[in-house]
Amino acid sequence: MNTTFNIDIFNKFKDCLVKNIYPLNEFIINKKLILPDLKSKGGLYAFWWIGEKKELVNSVKNSSYKLKGKQSEKKLWNVVFTEKWISNASCGQKVCLYIGKSTDIKGRISKHIKLGTPDIWKKSDGEVIRKDSGIKPNTESQLRIGIERLFATKPFHELIGNIGVSWIIVDKYENGINRFYLENYFIGKHFPLLNIDIER
C-alpha cells in the first residue's frame, strides 16, 4: 500500500469546507455527539461561527486572549484579533474558527467540545485555571478553550447554537499525506481565529 501526494485532491476539495456547514447542535442529543457516518472516517473538519457576526466581533475585540510562551520564558503574549484577520476568516456572515484533520473525525470533534465536562477549567483537585492565564486546561479541546476565552463570561453550552461544523472525508491511510497538506491549505485560505499556538 502506498500513500502519495496528489494535486487532484486539492482541486476536488478546495471549496468543500464552506459548502456544507451544519449547526453543531443538530448533531447533539442528550449531551452526546451523534455523527455515526464520521466514526473512524479520516479527513478534515472545520468549526464556524454561524451566529450573529456582530456578537462575535464585539466579543473578540473586548477579549483578553493570551497565549503562553515557552516553559522557560513564562511570558504571556496578547493576541490581537484585528478587523482584517476577522475579515479574512469570514465567508459571508460565517467566520472560520478552527480547522483540523483526523483519522476519526467524529472522535476528534467530540474531544474539541467535551460535552460531558461542564467546566473544563476546573482541575480534578478543585483548582480553577483562569481563562486569561494563557494556560490550557487540556491539549484536545482547542475549539472550546478558544470560544470560552473569547466569551469569558459565557460557558460553552450557551454558545454552541452559534457554532457550525463542516467536514470532508479523505481516506484514512491512502491519502494521509494529502490530508496533511489540505489542512495547511485550508488554514492558509480561511485564517481560522483559533488555530493559534506559540508554545511549541
Write the pLDDT tens digit of every residue in 158-184: 999 999 999 999 876 566 778 888 899
Alpha carbon separation from 144 to 13, 187, 196 (Å, rounded) = 26, 18, 13
Count other Cβ atoms within 10 Å, centred on residue 65: 20
% of the chain surpassing 90 pLDDT: 62
Q: In terms of C-beta density within 10 A (0-12 exposed, 13-18 middle, 19 or more buried), how is residue 150 classed?
A: buried
Contact between 162 and 93 (Cβ < 8 Å) = no
Residue 12 pLDDT class (50, 70, 90 cuts): confident
Question: Looking at the predicted structure, is the pLDDT value of residue 135 above 90?
Answer: no
What nine digits make up the cell of 35? 455523527
The structure's pTM equals: 0.91
37/9: higher pLDDT: 37
